[in-house]
Chain A
Amino acid sequence: QQQVKQSPQSLIVQKGGISIINCAYENTAFDYFPWYQQFPGKGPALLIAIRPDVSEKKEGRFTISFNKSAKQFSLHIMDSQPGDSATYFCAASKSGSEKLVFGKGTKLTVNP
């Protein structure tokens, strides 16, 4: 059973465009929703995270939008740059659990 479903599997965007990656979850006990960024040959790194008591969180060009009723959250990358080309993972965890559940990842390519 896949607890966090991520789409699309791959995404190609032109420089300056908006990249949008979507995730959906089933377990309403989840209360932290982080996004991780992974460059080729490197380990994933925490990019941004949100709790379900807010609907949106921005950090620079990166924004998480959260829809609690739909059990969905998404990552928006504004003004996408070639340096943003990486694999992005959404994830979920719940208070009291030290484990993360990851989506399957989205490979983003930003063309110059």
Chain B
Amino acid sequence: DAGITQSPRHKVTETGTPVTLRCHQTENHRYMYWYRQDPGHGLRLIHYSYGVKDTDKGEVSDGYSVSRSKTEDFLLTLESATSSQTSVYFCAIGQGYEQYFGPGTRLTVT
């Protein structure tokens, strides 16, 4: 998985609780991405980062925030989880069309 780890790999949480997912890379890539994957929707970009402290929104950013204080770490936070955020979350590194994905985090919001 191109030197990308995600933690946790699985999480079950309750509606209304905050959740933070972590992506860690060892490739020193400038660009990092967070996607969610849902049946019938494919992969949708949530947020991405183009450097430390530099982030931008994707197509489904509502309800999510991100932070990048170090090159190697990109955090995705759900401030108050909802059932609609039950999904598999993938982190990716790379640039443009050539992206390398992590193993994913399966999040269930009950």
Q: Which A positions have Cβ atoms within 8 angstroms of B?
A: 6, 9, 32-34, 41-46, 49, 89, 91, 93, 95, 97-100, 102-105
CA distance A43 to B48 in the complex (A): 17
- Whether, in the assembled complex, B100 has its beta carbon less than 8 Å from a beta carbon of chain A, the answer is yes
B97 contact set on A, CB distance < 8 A:
32-34, 46, 49, 91, 93, 100
CA distance A88 to B41 in the complex (A): 13
Give the residue of A9, A43, A97 whose beta carbon is less than 8 angstroms from that of B90. Answer: A43
**Stretch from B13-21, B66-74, B76-84, B101-109 contacting the other chain:** B101-109
Give the residue of A43, A93, A103 whose beta carbon is less than 8 angstroms from that of B42. Answer: A103
Q: In the bound complex, do residue B43 and residue A32 qualify as a contact, i.e. CB atoms below 8 Å apart?
A: no
B40 contact set on A, CB distance < 8 A:
9, 104
CA distance A46 to B31 in the complex (A): 16
Provided the pairs A34-B98, A46-B98, A91-B97 are in contact, do residues A98 and B45 lie with their beta carbons within 8 angstroms? no
Could you list 6 further interchain pairs (A-B, Cβ under 8 angstroms) beyond the known A46-B97, A100-B97?
A32-B97, A34-B98, A41-B104, A43-B104, A99-B58, A104-B42
CA distance A105 to B45 in the complex (A): 15
Q: In the bound complex, do residue B102 and residue A43 qualify as a contact, i.e. CB atoms below 8 Å apart?
A: yes
20 residue pairs of the A-B complex, CB under 8 angstroms, read: A6-B42, A9-B40, A32-B97, A33-B97, A43-B4, A43-B102, A43-B103, A45-B100, A45-B101, A49-B98, A97-B96, A98-B31, A98-B48, A98-B50, A98-B95, A98-B96, A99-B45, A99-B58, A100-B99, A102-B44
Which residue of chain A has the shortest Cβ distance to B40 in the bound complex?
A104
Give the residue of B58, B95, B96, B103 whose beta carbon is less than 8 angstroms from that of A42. Answer: B103
Q: In the bound complex, do residue A46 and residue B99 qualify as a contact, i.e. CB atoms below 8 Å apart?
A: yes
CA distance A89 to B37 in the complex (A): 12
